[in-house]
């Protein structure tokens, strides 16, 4: 998709100085890669925030502990077999 953006002059100069270095062949490539990186980081932040909420969710914690207790004996047996 074509779009038009306004970049501050000093940033455009820095971008142009990087073009041709480190595998960047065009200003467009640099901007696309920067946006891809930002999107990936933002997605990670959102996932991290979801996990942080789970750490405070009493129902989730109770369910996790119950599941852990159910598998404790089989986990112990597998560990013992692997140690032998």
Task: Report how far residue 54's alpha carbon sits from residue 31's, in angstroms, rounded to the nearest whole number.
Answer: 35
Q: Using pLDDT thresholds of 50, 70 and 90, give the confidence band for residue 7.
A: very high
pLDDT at 22: 73
pLDDT at 42: 98
Residues 13 and 6: their CA atoms lie apart, in Å, by 13
The pTM assigned to this predicted structure is 0.60
Task: Give the number of other CB atoms < 10 A from CB of residue 40.
Answer: 10
Confidence of residue 37 (pLDDT cuts 50, 70, 90): very high
pLDDT of residue 45: 97
What is the rounded CA–CA span in Å between residue 31 and residue 60? 41
What integer is the mean pLDDT of 67-71? 92
């Amino acid at each position: 998709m074509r779009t038009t953006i306004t970049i501050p002059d000093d940033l455009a100069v820095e971008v142009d100085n990087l073009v041709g270095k480190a595998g960047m062949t065009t200003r467009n490539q640099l901007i696309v890669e920067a946006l891809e990186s930002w999107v990936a980081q933002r997605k990670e932040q959102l996932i991290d925030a979801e996990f942080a909420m789970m750490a405070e969710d009493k129902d989730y914690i109770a369910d996790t502990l119950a599941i852990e207790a159910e598998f404790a004996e089989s986990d112990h047996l597998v560990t013992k077999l692997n140690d032998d």
